[in-house]
Structure 1
Amino acid sequence: CASGELTAKRLADRVLSLPPLSALSREAYRTLLVSMINDEYLELTEEGGIIIGLKGEKLINSFKFYAVFKDSEDFTVRCDSEEIGTITTPPPVGDRFALAGRVWEVREVDLSRRLVFVKSVDGKMEVSWPGEGGEIHTRLLEAMHRVLFGEAEYPFLGENARERLEVARRVAKNAKMDKRLTVFLGGQSFALFPWLGTRAFRTLKRLLKKNASELGISDIQSEGCCYITFKGKDGKDADYERRICDIIERDGLSPDELVFDGECPVFDKYDEYVPPELLREAYALDRLCPEEVVNRFLGEAL
């Protein structure tokens, strides 16, 4: 802004020399630049230079743009023409959340108009206002596994807590959760306990959704990062863990392939100014962890 009009090359040299952007590829930078010109945040002059656009001028003159924290602006949730309510963070397309006493599945997110289009689905959920809470590391889940299947006694636990731990250990061993990750719940219902932290758990859930047809499963749901429930059409003796292993061995596990076309994952303050293809790339790098999933299914047992 203070430098006035710059050529695309000079602007790139300045921007990409800044420490926070030094790792940004020129191809990604070009995608961002073209997007900002198309969206009128920047403007291309007749001489081929680049200046601040009309929308960009309005943006940089707002104190909200320079604030450290993201300004709270809710998204309106709509089912057809009916307005259901508001949420603070738009979930990814295909995710489900509870609002106004019902469960909804996200069909489309319109960032510019701050709208989330949904359809009603059956089921129950406890979380009514989805958002990005703190992340849990895989080491913590593995520590929980050691507590659950170990025999150590913890003197700091109260009497009720000790009894609950004993019951939990007994139930887990009866279900053979120390020998397998998948538990048959009855009917067509199964639960998968991968003992993975938030990012790896998120990666696994996306892998299951992508390959649901081949795995023979449906209705994939989760809350937190402790377990995933699903419906299996092949009965209680089906080895779903083996099927997951086969897919990983055959195809590998690339995070880029787990972020689907049409998704626009928005989490951080300036994401709405970034084109969807770059947001998908950032999501794959920052919020997925395929290595831990591969290690869980193809590495040493817990």
Structure 2
Amino acid sequence: MYSESELSPAMIAQKVLTLSAFRNISQEDYKVFLRHLISIGHLEKTDRNTLIVGLKAEPILNHFEFYSVFTTPKEYSVRSDSEEIGTVHQKYPVGTAFCLAGYSWRVIDIDEESSCIYVEKLEGISYNAWLADCNTIVETKIMKRIRSLLKSEDCYDYLSQSSKNLLNKIRFDCRNAGIIDKTIVKISDKSYYVFPWVGTKAINVLNLFFKSEGFNVSVISYASLPICLSVEDEPDENKIRETYKKAKSSSIDIGRFSLDEEDIDLGGKFDEFVEPSLIIKEFLFDFLDVKDLQINM
């Protein structure tokens, strides 16, 4: 389009929607996307009802990063009052707690223009977790294999002695904590961890199901591995257990989940220019797997 000066919406559809990458995009979603690009100034309508590149899109198209395959990570400065604590490469939503520089912080405000995240200090330990980290999808069979590895006594000759010692220590700690054989582990009077040992798409479903049942939950991940669900502000373990069983046996309709686009990071290079409802739709259909969850819980 940039090289052809102006095109009608029908001509853009003919050129774009016939490409293999866009074969599953419906006409309705295409219209929503075009209207959004017009509303943010990336496309402009002419008096002949054709579309041209908008003034706000031209600097983006003319920048060398537009043609790169990978996203250049955006860096946010984390500040408490006037002091800079450090930098992060993801935007934590307001109210989210995370760990940086050895301390826990809660986000109180975000300044997009200056790329600053303003925080306040918290007591205790926090974990850096999105609702969904979709940059890396971990299959359920990987999590099952990790669990099997932790349960076994097998020793691997190719490991160095220090690696063998570390593996034995991790096995010992996991068994003592009860996370290998127990699905629900009590952390404090009102905090529990739920270990379903499933992959990214499955644990996303479980997370949203618990949220739909009124729980304050989040996914705890480490190196993209979906370790467990953290359930906060809930003193009744039986209620958690019943909800877990309900997630396994219920007919789950992903369309009923309530989602906020601020909670979703799909890792797409141009996601910020896409209409939020389409981002949510992509997450629901591409990053959730109800069948995987219910078979492997």
User: Fold conserved (TM > 0.5)?
Assistant: yes
1:4-55 deviations in Å (ceiling 9; x for gaps): 2222222222221122222211111111111111111111011211111112
Match of 1:240 in 2: 240
Q: What is the distance in 2 between the residues matched to 1:291 and 1:161?
A: 36
Match of 1:300 in 2: none
State whether residues 137 and 198 of structure 1, in contact with CA within 8 Å, keep that contact through their aligned partners in structure 2: yes
- C-alpha change, 1:200 and 1:207, in structure 2 (3 Å) is same
Q: How does 1:107-186 map to 2 (within 5 A)?
A: 114-116=115-117, 120-125=121-126, 134-150=136-152, 152=154, 154-156=156-158, 180-185=182-187
1:236-292 deviations in Å (ceiling 9; x for gaps): x62623222225645615167253365463622111221222122222333333332
Give SS of 1:238's match.
Answer: helix
Q: Report how far residue 108 of structure 1 moved.
A: 6.5
State whether residues 202 and 292 of structure 2, in contact with CA within 8 Å, keep that contact through their aligned partners in structure 1: yes
5+ residue gaps, structure 1: 298-302
Q: What is the distance in 2 between the residues matched to 1:61 and 1:171?
A: 54
Q: What is the distance in 1 between the residues matched to 2:72 and 2:157?
A: 46
Q: How does 1:140-289 map to 2 (within 5 A)?
A: 140-150=142-152, 152=154, 154-156=156-158, 180-185=182-187, 187-213=189-215, 218=216, 220=218, 222-224=220-222, 225-231=226-232, 233-235=234-236, 238=238, 240-247=240-247, 249-250=249-250, 252-254=252-254, 257=257, 259-260=259-260, 263=263, 265=265, 267-289=267-289
Q: Report how far residue 140 of structure 1 moved.
A: 1.5
Letter in 2 for 1:73: K
State whether residues 97 and 104 of structure 2, in contact with CA within 8 Å, keep that contact through their aligned partners in structure 1: yes
- C-alpha change, 1:154 and 1:101, in structure 2 (3 Å) is closer
Letter in 2 for 1:244: Y
Give the TM-score, by structure 1 length. Answer: 0.76
Root mean square deviation, CA, Å: 3.7
State whether residues 94 and 107 of structure 1, in contact with CA within 8 Å, keep that contact through their aligned partners in structure 2: yes
Letter in 1 for 2:260: F
Give the TM-score, by structure 2 length. Answer: 0.77
Q: What is the distance in 2 between the residues matched to 1:272 and 1:6?
A: 24
Give SS of 2:231's match.
Answer: strand
Q: What is the distance in 2 between the residues matched to 1:106 and 1:291?
A: 35
Give SS of 1:142's match.
Answer: helix
Indicate the percent of aligned positions where both proteins have the same amino acid. 25
Letter in 1 for 2:220: S
Match of 2:50 in 1: 49
Match of 1:39 in 2: 40
Q: Report how far residue 57 of structure 1 moved.
A: 2.2
Q: Report how far residue 92 of structure 1 moved.
A: 5.0
- C-alpha change, 1:30 and 1:120, in structure 2 (3 Å) is farther
Q: What is the distance in 2 between the residues matched to 1:100 and 1:174?
A: 29
Q: What is the distance in 2 between the residues matched to 1:33 and 1:152?
A: 57
Match of 1:295 in 2: 295
Q: What is the distance in 1 between the residues matched to 2:189 and 2:289?
A: 32
Higher relative contact order (CA 8 A, sep 6+): 2
Q: What is the distance in 1 between the residues matched to 2:274 and 2:56?
A: 14
Match of 2:10 in 1: 9
State whether residues 92 and 265 of structure 1, in contact with CA within 8 Å, keep that contact through their aligned partners in structure 2: no
- C-alpha change, 1:208 and 1:111, in structure 2 (3 Å) is farther
Deviates more, 1:72-81 or 1:220-229: 72-81
Match of 1:96 in 2: 97
State whether residues 261 and 279 of structure 2, in contact with CA within 8 Å, keep that contact through their aligned partners in structure 1: no
